[in-house]
Structure 1
Amino acid sequence: MKLDMFTEIQDPRPWEEGHEHLRITQAMEQARLADELGYGCWWQVEHHGAEEFSLSSAPEIMLAALSQTTSRMRLGHAAVLAPGRLNHPIRIAERAAMLDHLSGGRVELGLTRSTPPEWRLFGVDPAEVREQTAEAFRMIPRMWTDERFSWHSPHYDITDVPVLPKPYQNPHPPLWQAASSPSSFEQAGRNGVGVLGTTVWTAMDEVRRSIDLYRAAVRACESPAGTLVNDQVAFFTFVHCADTDEEAIRNGAASAAAWYTAKALTFFEAQEGFLESARHQEKLLAQPDGGGLAGAYLRAEAAAGTAPSDAQLVIGRILGGEEVPADEIYEALNSQHSLIIGSPETCREKLRAYADLGVDRLMCFQQVGGLPHGQVMKSIRLIGGLIEEFDV
């Protein structure tokens, strides 16, 4: 299992003069350290209008800067917002190919359909996002490999266009899909692209089932989106390492986890997201084939009748408008082993659990909430000391 880095460039209040510049330069410093220590990839998100939750509104520029100040680790979009009004597929292909040249062939490209607040901001029709994201996966590899590109659909009308430059990597950078539901894990597998998931709020057993679903879908892949199948599983979770478990908590790890949970659920408008996902799952189960692998997954979950976890109950309370104490949020998440917080020994044990599940890349989310930069840098160093043990 490779250990990667994942960043939102978070900028929590209270703000002081120059706070944005400080956070961005700190992220650059964290990336340079990660490169020196041998982390596998630096994954940069894309969000718009996220305020203190994320400054990463132009990841392609951040990654271009990192391409000139790092030399070893790969540079990943996790992930580009794929609906056309946010990022036209031609622009995605052009930018990623140029970054591939600037980095000497170190690009990993993830795509996602984005979230309701960003759809509203850019005037995206929610009814079209799944189809447009699916089209982008098919269009972009062809733009990279065909001398001239044509595509005709209700969303795009492109005739005989040379899309340049072509990527430095041959045949093209690995493709990834962000996933948060059974159907998206299956879609990633059937597309033959890597899957990007999160374990921050997900119990280990659910992670295992999601991986099994993805692996089964990859085996059934008959027409990969790209030239090659990228059958890798990557998950991100909150990671904070200190000399002792007690020091990790004193550093503010519990409050950072709680802050992130509350901010993420608010920014992503998770309640509406859950409802939209439920509607999609109902349509999936009503399909003549029963919804494929994802449908079978959902029926097995329903048959098991598993009671809601402490984390799910806490999330429900937050969505209901309740201000849940930080310690309570942290304990609910930590009880299901979805966070990696503590001493190097504790973190090693928790990392091993993910490796044993078959995770190929663990994306370490270390700059979270109000954790001081110095403590984040120390955590990056301590986790970096475990890289050789897992990357075998």
Structure 2
Amino acid sequence: EAATVDHISKGRFDFGIGRSGLTRYYQGYNIPYDESRSRFAEALEIITKAWTQDCFSHHGDYFSFDNVTVVPRPYQHPYPPMHVAVSSPETFEAMGRLGHSVFLNSNTPIPTLQERLALYHQAWKEAGHSGTPEIGLRIPAYVAETPDRARSEPEASTMHAIRYGAQTLSASAATPEAAARMMQLASVPYDEVLKRRVMYGTPEAIVERCQALHEELGVTCMVLELNYGGQLPMERVIHSIRLLTEKVMPVLK
């Protein structure tokens, strides 16, 4: 399916993949979450084989098959750019060794991301990969003409997302202590959320923030959540997108 989209878009498709930190996604398939890391690594190996070999076999810890052909082959060679969602230090290092681009989460403090990106870049170089890797960031964004509007208009929707996320993480936590830590997220003040977890502001402020993230983390691409929490009226979302495309993107190009 991913290769088909790559053909339909004539090579404008990027492939994003991650193993998730929520245990409930594994419980639904009756798969122990303890196996998530090794299963993800094996799945990544299989996907790479499928996109680079006309016919391949695989015998791993979880999957086994012989003489498999996957069609269509990707439009891009050898396959679409692969962006892997990363969180733990081990995953940063592993993706550096494999030469895959990474996607960061805005919930992680910048100093922590800088430390883990250092591990990633070191592993990238030690593995002999050339060039500079893409560093992606997923972050909620909202653009308005004034700072007050950029702050107030998305507040209710944003805090809804924070509370829902805390409840979801708490329900999937492995221990009662971890669940309690997750629920503490629901009480984070909005001003704190604005400082480091979202990107809200005037077009000029958004440009400055993007440039700062590039300097601090080497961010080269972003996935913007333009209705964080899903509670914003559609006309406000469209207006924010218009400001983003007309006043932010041309500056960053």
Question: If the TM-score is normalised by the length of the shorter chain, which range does it land in?
Answer: 0.7 to 0.9
Partners of 2:240 and 2:171 in 1: how far apart?
A: 30
Q: Report runs of 4+ in structure 1 exceeding 6 Å deviation.
A: none
Structural mapping, 1:16-95, within 5 Å: 95=1
Name the structure 2 match of 1:133.
Answer: 40
Partners of 2:131 and 2:175 in 1: how far apart?
A: 30
Gaps of 5+ in 2: none
Shift of 1:316: 6.3
Partners of 1:186 and 1:257 in 2: how far apart?
A: 32
Structure 1 position 343 matched with structure 2 position 202: yes
Gaps of 5+ in 1: 1-94, 279-314
Superposition TM-score, scaled by structure 1 size: 0.58
Partners of 1:359 and 1:246 in 2: how far apart?
A: 27
Pairing partner for 1:202 from 108, 125, 146 = 108
Shift of 1:142: 1.4
Report if the CA contact (8 A) 2:24-2:172 is conserved: no
Report if the CA contact (8 A) 1:113-1:130 is conserved: yes
In the TM superposition, what whole-angstrom CA distance separates every residue of 1:43-75 from its partner, at most 9, and x where no partner exists?
A: xxxxxxxxxxxxxxxxxxxxxxxxxxxxxxxxx
Partners of 2:138 and 2:243 in 1: how far apart?
A: 18
Shift of 1:265: 2.5
Partners of 2:181 and 2:88 in 1: how far apart?
A: 21
Structure 1 position 254 matched with structure 2 position 155: yes
Structure 1 position 374 matched with structure 2 position 204: no
Shift of 1:366: 1.0
Structure 1 position 237 matched with structure 2 position 139: yes
Partners of 1:316 and 1:111 in 2: how far apart?
A: 29
Partners of 1:333 and 1:372 in 2: how far apart?
A: 21
How big is the alpha-carbon RMSD for the aligned residues of Structure 1 and Structure 2? 2.7
C-alpha spacing 1:332/1:100, structure 2 compared with 1 (3 Å)? same
Considering Cα pairs closer than 8 Å and 6+ residues apart, tell me whether 1 or 2 has the greater RCO.
1
Other structure's SS at 2:34 match: helix
Name the structure 1 match of 2:244.
Answer: 383
Partners of 1:270 and 1:220 in 2: how far apart?
A: 39
Other structure's SS at 2:66 match: strand
Structure 1 position 319 matched with structure 2 position 200: no
Structure 1 position 190 matched with structure 2 position 86: no
Shift of 1:229: 8.0
Superposition TM-score, scaled by structure 2 size: 0.87
Identity of aligned residues (%): 27
Name the structure 2 match of 1:213.
Answer: 119
Partners of 1:248 and 1:386 in 2: how far apart?
A: 14
Partners of 1:145 and 1:229 in 2: how far apart?
A: 21
Partners of 2:37 and 2:49 in 1: how far apart?
A: 19
Name the structure 2 match of 1:365.
Answer: 225
